[in-house]
């Protein structure tokens, strides 16, 4: 008689497999653990993977012979064999016991969860979206967080992004990462690096960390300390060196552009080169948190796009790769595994704040909450949470729907649209195409 596995045994089983498949409305999404990537497959491919675990490939082909040629079947299985998905005729992964709601056109689970470990921060950045400073009274306990991580794994979500506040300011951050590692998670951290002492960096080096994002909004000490606080620059420089020497994880810089640091763009790229940082990501400040209280730091559409274009041009001759995440429409076409209008918020990603509130993003959690992980499992909130349903059912606008970039852009960032204009349906406020058409 076959006995069912306990939740803990099931979690260990999932963490040990090189591939984890979860059924989706279009077929399945397979998590490739080695490459930390999700690969989408249609219903036909999903059937091949599932049946190969019971039948030979010849038997599987016979079931498909009326709709698939032998040549295309063999080509597909050979390609899968070349990346290890199929070995000796058998799918090498494990299927989750998940079922999608009939007629749904969104993913069965997020691909990434952003977890705000704490609102505590040792700095007081003028543009902080989280208004970080003191820790909140009822922040998630380590037991709460372990439960969230276990829920994620059982849903087939294996990417965890830790942020804050300052996550290194939370004493049990290493326990959080260790538990996530035991569940097969790829963990990334967003930090200001000022608390990355040699002891902290050494402890991080003992764990499996995918990458470390270091906030870097100025390349000069004077500008950095103006934005983040006295003596912060020197602490950050020491912390970056410690992380590079001892943490083993790849590091990249993340810069939020605003009126006070537009002249710092060349210095920021040079700073990355000096530290031999492989890439720097440029973003644009949004009117949320403390930035909302300082409207003078906001940029016009033209200023924002000019700044991003400058960063891109500088990157063309730099040893450091320059990435522009706020450009609308995007500079390259992107395929999406979700339908309709809207960005990744609530479609591919969700955010959990330090007190357990789930939202499509950190900007939207308090205004469009899906619920709290202390009260309902993450799986239920993902499928039934009101705030996420609102994002997925967004009707959009005709300007975006008729645009040549729509299939790739989908209207741009919904979070930025909401905090800027107070509506989810407007085009992204950084979109030059929409601004020229008078849609803003």
pLDDT digit string (tens) for the chain, length 440 residues = 445 778 899 999 999 999 999 999 999 999 999 999 999 999 999 999 999 999 999 999 999 999 999 999 999 999 999 999 999 999 999 999 887 778 888 999 999 999 999 999 999 999 999 999 999 999 999 999 999 999 999 999 999 999 999 999 999 999 999 999 999 999 999 999 999 999 999 999 999 999 999 999 999 999 999 999 889 999 999 999 999 999 999 999 999 999 999 999 999 999 999 999 999 999 999 999 999 998 999 999 999 999 999 999 999 999 999 999 888 888 777 777 888 898 899 999 999 999 999 999 999 999 999 999 999 999 999 999 999 999 999 999 999 999 999 988 999 999 999 999 999 999 999 998 998 876 66
Domain ranges of the chain: 7-95, 112-324, 349-437
> How high is the pLDDT of residue 99?
78
Phi/psi of residue 197, nearest 5 degrees: -65, 175
Cα(40)–Cα(183) distance, integer angstroms = 22
The answer as to CATH 3.20.20.70 being correct for domain 112-324 is yes
Cα(344)–Cα(416) distance, integer angstroms = 12
Joined tokens for residue 126: 């003028």
Instruction: Please state whether the predicted TM-score (pTM) of the whole model is above 0.75.
Output: yes
Beta bridge partners of 113: 160, 350
DSSP string for 367-404: TS--EETTTS-HHHHHHH-HHHHHHHT----HHHHTST
Cα(176)–Cα(198) distance, integer angstroms = 20
Token pair 């601004």 is at which residue?
Answer: 435
Q: Considering all CA atoms of the chain, what is the largest pairwise distance in Å, rounded to the nearest integer?
A: 71
Instruction: Indicate the angle between helix axes 265-274 and 301-315, nearest 10 degrees.
Output: 30
- Per residue in 91-113, pLDDT (tens digit) is 999 999 887 778 888 999 999 99
Measured CA distances, 381 to 42, 107, 389 (Å): 26, 13, 10
On the CB side of 200, CA atoms within 13 Å amount to 19
Q: How confident is the prediction for the chain on average, in pLDDT? A: 94
- Per residue in 110-157, pLDDT (tens digit) is 999 999 999 999 999 999 999 999 999 999 999 999 999 999 999 999
Q: Is 231 left (phi over 0), alpha (psi -120 to 50) or beta?
A: left
Cα(311)–Cα(215) distance, integer angstroms = 16
């Amino acid at each position: 008689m076959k006995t069912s596995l306990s939740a803990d045994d099931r979690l260990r089983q999932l963490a040990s497999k090189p591939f984890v498949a979860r059924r989706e409305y279009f077929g399945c999404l397979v998590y490739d653990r080695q490459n930390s990537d999700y690969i989408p497959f249609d219903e036909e491919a999903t059937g091949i993977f599932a049946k190969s675990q019971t039948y030979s490939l010849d038997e599987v082909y016979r079931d498909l012979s009326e709709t698939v040629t032998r040549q295309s079947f063999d080509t597909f299985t050979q390609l899968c064999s070349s990346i290890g998905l199929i070995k000796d005729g058998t799918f090498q992964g494990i299927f989750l016991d998940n079922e999608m709601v009939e007629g749904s056109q969104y993913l069965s689970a997020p691909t990434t969860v952003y977890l705000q470990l704490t609102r505590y921060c040792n700095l007081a950045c003028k543009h902080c979206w989280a208004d970080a400073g003191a820790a909140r009274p009822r922040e998630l306990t380590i037991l709460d967080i372990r439960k969230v991580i276990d829920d994620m794994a059982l849903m087939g979500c294996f990417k965890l992004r830790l942020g804050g506040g300052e996550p290194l300011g939370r004493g049990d951050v290493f326990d959080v990462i260790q538990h996530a590692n035991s569940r097969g998670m790829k963990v990334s951290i967003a930090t200001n690096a000022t608390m990355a002492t040699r002891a902290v960096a050494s402890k991080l080096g003992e764990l499996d960390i995918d990458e470390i994002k270091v906030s870097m909004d100025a390349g000069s000490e004077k500008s950095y300390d103006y934005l983040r606080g006295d003596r912060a620059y020197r602490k950050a420089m020491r912390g970056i060196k410690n992380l590079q020497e001892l943490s083993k994880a790849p590091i990249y810089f993340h810069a939020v552009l605003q009126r006070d640091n537009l002249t710092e763009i060349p210095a920021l790229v040079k700073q990355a080169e000096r530290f031999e940082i492989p890439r720097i990501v440029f973003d644009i400040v949004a009117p949320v948190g403390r930035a909302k209280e300082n409207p003078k730091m906001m940029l016009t559409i033209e200023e924002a796009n000019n700044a991003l274009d400058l960063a891109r041009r500088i990157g063309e001759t730099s040893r450091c790769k320059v990435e522009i995440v706020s450009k609308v429409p995007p500079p390259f076409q992107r395929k999406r595994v979700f339908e309709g209008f809207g960005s990744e918020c609530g479609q591919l990603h969700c955010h959990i704040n330090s007190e357990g509130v789930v939202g499509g993003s950190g900007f939207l959690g308090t205004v469009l909450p899906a619920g709290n992980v202390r009260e309902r499992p993450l799986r239920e909130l993902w499928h039934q949470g009101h705030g996420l349903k609102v994002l997925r059912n967004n009707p959009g606008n005709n300007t975006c729907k008729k645009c040549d970039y729509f299939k790739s852009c989908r209207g741009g960032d919904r979070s930025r649209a909401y905090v800027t204009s107070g509506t989810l349906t407007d085009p992204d406020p950084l979109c030059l195409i929409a601004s020229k058409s008078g849609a803003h």
